[in-house]
Amino acid sequence: MTATIARPESPPLPPVSTPWWAPPTAAIVAFAVALSGSGSSTLNGDELATLSAARRSIAGMWELAQHIDGHFLPYYLFMHFWMKAGTAELWLRLPSALAIGVAAAFLVCLGRRVHSLSAGLAAAALLCALPSVSYYGAFARPYAFAAAAVTISFWALHRSRWVSYAASVALVGCTHLFAVLVLPAQLALLRGRTKTMVLAMAAGFVPAAVLGLIGYGERHAISWIPQRGPDVLLKFPKMAAGAEGVGIALFAVALAGAFVLIRRDTRWGLAVTGWLLLPPVLLLAVSHLVTPVYVDRYLFVTAPALVLLAAIAVAELPRLAVPAAVALAVGAAALAFPQHLDVRERNGRFEDVPWAIGRMKLEPGDAIVYGQSSLRTGFDYYATNAMPDDVLRMGNAPATDSFGYPERADVSVALRGRDRVWLVWRGAKSADLPQHGRVRQAGFALVRAWHSADIPGLTVALYTRKG
């Protein structure tokens, strides 16, 4: 009988380390893509809300947070000190572009850890190709921060750096409250480290819990959000990518990548797939169980997962990983090129205040009435020449409990002695606003109205006194 000699197993190959140049290169390229759109399109209402909140005193921001946008208080505090150096469009949006660079750098490292270096590099390249990155990377709101914080949390979780993980979870909650909807996906990684991970997650979740309670008490401030049905989930790929064609294509490839990663490492496959798929489902559930909150931009945190899974799918191809990744990134960029151009137009944020100002051909004694009081922030910011008399305005400071401004209620009295009045509002020409009736009751008739190119946009209307 012949004895069988067992051959010793070959030791596992050590993981390929991330080259020193890869994360900073990805960061620089992604930062450049985001920054390239930061000074071309005008600030919209959300960004002007950041400007309004962050230039108040610390006490003023705290007063505002007790009435509206309390969950944005950490971001407003950061921007308060950032704006000490200026309030130019480029400067206001620069932090978001930097955050996109950080997200790209950590995405390279995370992709290398869960699959391969080629997957990490391809993920960063695909991230740069997304129109949503061009949009939110040049946007003075915290959505890019949230995407970066979520990416860091997955990276820290893979490295089992529990202090870093707890800090990153805290950062997730401080950047945007609904970014915490990615955390349930991380529960797929509990096995073998349950106690340590749960303690780190719980410690990091404290800021989100506090901000969540504040936000729940202020849910009246988002009463404008309509209730959505399950059909809204069909639009999710477009939202995550920023364009329908590239979104659907990448989503299909990402599902293939999810299958690959689940077969390779079940727990990490479920975690990254959950990062992509759970937030929209959970946000819709919150909308139906608590209050309507489903807004597309709240889900930008899924964009890194979308590109990571798509990158894994192409990195799995034998001997074709690099050319396939290059082809996918170039194809995605080409397919989405019109959308990249759109977000870099002056009206790329759909609220072109300089256009509205330019429509006003003034005559001595002209007055202006705002359909939404908060629009004054934008007109004050962009006005370089004389503006019509703001006859309803009471004081220069915005209200302490909102982004609007205190106004006189007696429109007829305020317009006494005026022959022309400009009415400006956010929305289409057909918008039904109380100010229309009040201006007409004051003895004025509509002469002409202009609307900017996109919805909701801005509308400028000229009224003159009848008779």
pLDDT tens track for 449-459 = 999 877 778 99
Burial of 232 (0-12, 13-18, 19+ CB in 10 A): middle
pLDDT for residue 311 is more than 70: yes
Inside any domain, residue 288:
yes
Inside any domain, residue 36:
yes
Element (H, E) at 448: strand 444-451
Q: Which of 296, 312, 343 is the last residue of a domain?
A: 343
Q: What's the average model confidence in pLDDT over 259-276?
A: 97
Overall domain count for the chain: 2
* d(C-alpha 451, C-alpha 459), whole Å: 4
Q: Are residues 89 and 212 in the same domain?
A: yes
Q: Are residues 234 and 379 in the same domain?
A: no
Inside any domain, residue 239:
yes
Inside any domain, residue 412:
yes
Q: What's the average model confidence in pLDDT over 29-40?
A: 89
pTM for this prediction: 0.93
**Collapsing DSSP states into helix, strand and coil, what is residue 424?**
strand
Closest to 67 (Cα-Cα) out of 183, 219, 200, 206: 219
Q: Are residues 98 and 222 in the same domain?
A: yes
pLDDT tens track for 372-425 = 999 999 999 999 989 999 999 998 899 999 999 999 999 999 999 999 999 999
Q: Which of 287, 309, 343 is the last residue of a domain?
A: 343
Higher pLDDT, 194 or 208: 208
Q: Are residues 289 and 362 in the same domain?
A: no
φ and ψ at residue 390, rounded to 5 degrees? -85, 85
pLDDT interval class at 16 (50, 70, 90): low
Q: Are residues 317 and 371 in the same domain?
A: no
Q: What's the average model confidence in pLDDT over 190-214?
A: 93
pLDDT interval class at 98 (50, 70, 90): very high
State the pLDDT at residue 37. 76
pLDDT for residue 64 is more than 80: yes
Inside any domain, residue 105:
yes
Closest to 412 (Cα-Cα) out of 443, 388, 371, 436: 443
* d(C-alpha 347, C-alpha 350), whole Å: 5
Q: Are residues 295 and 387 in the same domain?
A: no
CA-to-CA dists, residue 363 to 63, 69, 290, 389, 420, angstroms: 40, 39, 51, 11, 8
State the pLDDT at residue 15. 52
pLDDT for residue 4 is more than 60: no
State the pLDDT at residue 318. 80
Q: Are residues 336 and 360 in the same domain?
A: no
Q: What's the average model confidence in pLDDT over 260-284?
A: 97
Inside any domain, residue 378:
yes
State the pLDDT at residue 12. 40
Q: Are residues 265 and 409 in the same domain?
A: no
Q: Are residues 244 and 386 in the same domain?
A: no
Q: Are residues 153 and 240 in the same domain?
A: yes
Residue with tokens 């009751």: 441
Q: Are residues 183 and 143 in the same domain?
A: yes
Q: What's the average model confidence in pLDDT over 229-257?
A: 96
The DSSP letter of residue 36 is: T
Inside any domain, residue 17:
no
Range of the domain at 448: 353-465
Mean pLDDT of all residues belonging to the chain: 92
pLDDT for residue 150 is more than 90: yes
User: Which range among 13-27, 111-125, 445-459 has the greatest average pLDDT?
Assistant: 111-125
Q: Which of 310, 343, 376 is the last residue of a domain?
A: 343
User: Which range among 67-71, 146-150, 157-161 has the greatest average pLDDT?
Assistant: 146-150
Inside any domain, residue 255:
yes
Q: Are residues 127 and 248 in the same domain?
A: yes
